Structure 1
Amino acid sequence: MELEFKGACREVGRSAVLVDEKIMMDYGVSPGEEVKYPLNGSRPQAVLLSHAHIDHSGAIPNLMDLDPDVFMTPPTFDLSNMLAQDTLRIAEREGEMPAFDSIDLTRFAHRTRQIDTGVPFHTHGYDVEFFDAGHIPGAASIFLKDKEGKSLYYTGDINTSDTRLVSGAVEFPNTDVLITESTYFGDDHPPRREVESQFIDSVMDTLDIGGTVIVPAFAIGRTQEILMLLDAHGIRAYVDGMGVHAYKVMSKHMDYIRNPTHLKKAFDNATEVSGRKRDSVHLESSVIVTTAGMLNGGPVLYYLNKKYKDPKSKIILTGYQVEGTNGRMALDTGIIENDGFIQHLKPKIEQYDFSAHSGDKELKEMVKDFCDRGTEHVFTMHGDNCEGFADWITEEIGVKAYAPELGERFTV
């Protein structure tokens, strides 16, 4: 089995792994000032998508001229199609040349087969099965076996702990080769209940003094989880941006949701906002949950433009902030760029760890479990310290691990 690592090598973003020059697992982009794509030149016969986030799905439409067979879970198809449509809208609005067009998206829909987790299937000489990965609704790890019986397990983005929105990953097959994400190697997440309690206390403190709480949140997963948390504490919020559309997509796949009744209640109790309705939002003692999660575009910039001079208000970041984004700049310097203007943020800026990835302890336990059951080769990717994780696996577990460089090939 030959593996070629086309992206997410010693970095977070643009995940792409090619198997035997036939099967592409994920094909994403890295957001930021300059969008990064996987190494080109691949001509896969099939594409397997782990989940909808654009660092895993965002470049798949670029492959449609090759007419590959495409496989993913039903929620992943609907959510990734939603994000791709949004990419086209943004490019058209800003006068940019998109990397794909509406014809590519039509082909994408036509070529995709939607397969639920736990349902084995076959493609181009490989037996395949999607395993629940936690992370977000529809997220799957990919189990692949070739004609000679050599097996591979690709985690994609994985979370073995429950969140309010989805259950954690619990089932893992025996495999010869493991390719694992490394996002939080070296960093343990604080207990979720502790994070939630601190978040709610911070929100209430700001509301009590008449301030506005702006919660930038990723559209898929984070917006829904934050609304469920607020609702559980009786806090009614405004919700704006693509997270509303993502919820409506998720509503078609409630069997992938941990507590569908609470998710529906949270959105029923929130006030949906868009377009001209933003002018009617009450900007004192209110909570606004809105995209984009890294402050790069989206309705969050409208609200920041209204409140950036208000020291009583607060900006609460709930996710990872990639280098080069407004969110990272806000954390590091208290400054953002908003529609061409530099704004010095007077509201207090806080960040809470609502990660949908396994932390250090969970990653190590998962890899050790695989190796105890016979895994012979481990590859670490999608992280800022993939080399450190590979060294730990080799030294502590005794199984040779590798942190591939961009474009590196291995035969296993």
Structure 2
Amino acid sequence: MEFSFKGGCREVGRSGLLVNEEVLLDYGIKAGDIPEYPQNGMEPKSVLISHGHLDHCGAVPNLMYMNPEVFMTPPTAEFTGLLGRDTLKLAERTLSGVAPFDPDDLQKLSRSIQKTDTGTEFMTHGYKARFYGAGHIPGASGIYLESEAGESLFYTGDFSLQATRLVPGAEKFPKADTLILESTYFGEEHTPRKETEERFIESVWETLDMGGTAIIPAFAIGRTQEILMLLDAHGIHAYVDGMGKDVYKILKKYPEYLKNPRLLDQAFDNATPVKPSKRAEILKEPSVIVTTAGMLNGGPVLYYLSKLHKDPNSKILLTGYQVEGTNGRMAVENGIIENNGTVLSLKPKLEQYDFSAHSGDSELKQVVTKFCKKGTERVFVMHGDKTEAFARWISEEISEETGVEAYAPANGESFSF
């Protein structure tokens, strides 16, 4: 097999891996002031997408002129369309107005997707393929691919072995000759979820007691729903604003991809959706607002911060990873954000909570070890900023016993075996 790494190497964002110049696994966008895309110069016959986050599916419409076969789980297909429409809206509001694709591309993608559930084997251009549940968010999957010659690979996408309130953990992964593994949290262990939840809830109550507003920026897909379920479980009424409301409507159609659909419905029934015209009214009294965007780059959260950035009694409770170059990272490091060209200094206390939907260090090592003991011959480590260290760990700790080869490819590198 030949592997050409187009993006997502030694970084988080814009994932893209081309196999044998025929099958493309993921094709995403890296968020930031100037969005980045995977390297081009390819003509895939088939595209398989691991899950519906922008850094894995965001640029797929740009491939439609090549008429590839496209496979996604049903939730991933709907999330990809939702994010695509949002990308076009955001492009309209920038000075350049330049988008990576146009509405016709998005419509063509919608018609082309072959929705395929996890656990269902399918064929594409001579390759045997299957999606495996990966935890992370609803519909997220690892991808198994096998050539006609019997060569096999498993691409984890983003995964978590641990269940959350929203989704179960990853299912048992298959054996494969080659493993391509995400490594976002190599070298870092997550705080136990229960402990994180307790600190988070305590801080929300504290904010309300001080007469402030708790602004909770959350990713629309996965995180918004989980946070609302957590707040509801502790009797805290929340307002919900932004794309997370649309995601919930999608999830209602796919209860089989959720851990507890009833509790999700209950959380949204008890929350109050916010119309843009009513945002100012909410801020007249202490409240809890769960809103996009999770990295403070656009979305309703910027309206709330523009009104509350001078209020020391309010809080900003970040619930996810903040990519370099985003408002969220700038807020964490410098206490400021930019909104429509204006720099705002943030007086509310800013807190960051580890609600990660990725596996931590020990789980990453556990997965690699299991694959290698079952005969995996090579491991490629991507989707993280410590991939070279992870590859060294594999070489030093596992290679002597199993003979596995470990690589931390750079964007643009190709390997053939």
Indicate whether the TM-score tops 0.5: yes
Residues 222-258 of structure 1: per-residue CA shift (max 9 Å, x gap):
0000000000000010000001111111111111010
Q: Specify the code of the residue in structure 2 equivalent to 1:302.
A: Y
Residues 28-55 of structure 1: per-residue CA shift (max 9 Å, x gap):
0100011111011010000000001010
Q: Which runs of 4+ in 1 moved over 3 A?
A: none
- Show the counterpart of 1:83: 83
Distance in 1 (CA, whole Å) between partners of 2:60 and 2:205 is 42
- Show the counterpart of 2:34: 34
Residues 111-165 of structure 1: per-residue CA shift (max 9 Å, x gap):
1100000000000010000000000000010000001101000000011100000
| Structure 1 stretch displaced more, 213-222 or 280-289 | 280-289
Q: For the Cα contact (< 8 Å) 1:73–1:114, is it kept in 2?
A: yes
Match of 1:403 among 389, 398, 408: 408
Normalising by structure 2, we get a TM-score of 0.98
Distance in 2 (CA, whole Å) between partners of 1:292 and 1:279 is 18
2:79 pairs with 1:67: no
- Show the counterpart of 2:6: 6
For this pair of structures, how many residues does the alignment match?
Answer: 412
Q: Specify the code of the residue in structure 2 equivalent to 1:304.
A: L
Distance in 2 (CA, whole Å) between partners of 1:282 and 1:311 is 14
Q: For the Cα contact (< 8 Å) 1:309–1:346, is it kept in 2?
A: yes
How far residue 92 of structure 1 moved from its aligned partner, in angstroms, is 2.2
- Show the counterpart of 2:335: 334
Distance in 1 (CA, whole Å) between partners of 2:166 and 2:283 is 28
Distance in 1 (CA, whole Å) between partners of 2:285 and 2:219 is 23
Distance in 1 (CA, whole Å) between partners of 2:384 and 2:275 is 35
SS in 2 for 1:356: coil
Q: For the Cα contact (< 8 Å) 2:132–2:171, is it kept in 1?
A: no
| Structure 1 stretch displaced more, 283-292 or 148-157 | 283-292
- Show the counterpart of 1:132: 133
Distance in 1 (CA, whole Å) between partners of 2:26 and 2:185 is 20
Give percent identity, aligned residues only. Answer: 61
Distance in 2 (CA, whole Å) between partners of 1:174 and 1:86 is 37
Distance in 2 (CA, whole Å) between partners of 1:335 and 1:271 is 29
Q: For the Cα contact (< 8 Å) 1:212–1:283, is it kept in 2?
A: no
- Show the counterpart of 2:249: 248
RMSD between aligned residues: 0.8
SS in 2 for 1:234: coil
- Show the counterpart of 2:166: 165
Q: Specify the code of the residue in structure 2 equivalent to 1:407.
A: G
- Show the counterpart of 2:239: 238
2:26 pairs with 1:21: no
Normalising by structure 1, we get a TM-score of 0.99
Structure 2 CA distance for partners of 1:133 and 1:284, relative to 1, 3 Å: same
Distance in 2 (CA, whole Å) between partners of 1:15 and 1:278 is 36
How far residue 274 of structure 1 moved from its aligned partner, in angstroms, is 2.2
Distance in 1 (CA, whole Å) between partners of 2:414 and 2:397 is 25
How far residue 99 of structure 1 moved from its aligned partner, in angstroms, is 1.3
Residues 314-359 of structure 1: per-residue CA shift (max 9 Å, x gap):
0000000011111111111111111211111110000000000000
- Show the counterpart of 1:47: 47
Distance in 1 (CA, whole Å) between partners of 2:44 and 2:72 is 16
2:278 pairs with 1:295: no
Q: Specify the code of the residue in structure 2 equivalent to 1:188.
A: E
Q: For the Cα contact (< 8 Å) 1:31–1:55, is it kept in 2?
A: yes
Distance in 2 (CA, whole Å) between partners of 1:311 and 1:39 is 44
Distance in 2 (CA, whole Å) between partners of 1:37 and 1:245 is 26
Distance in 2 (CA, whole Å) between partners of 1:284 and 1:321 is 29
Q: Unpaired runs of 5+ in structure 2?
A: none
How far residue 94 of structure 1 moved from its aligned partner, in angstroms, is 3.4
SS in 1 for 2:65: helix
Q: For the Cα contact (< 8 Å) 1:13–1:382, is it kept in 2?
A: yes
Q: Unpaired runs of 5+ in structure 1?
A: none
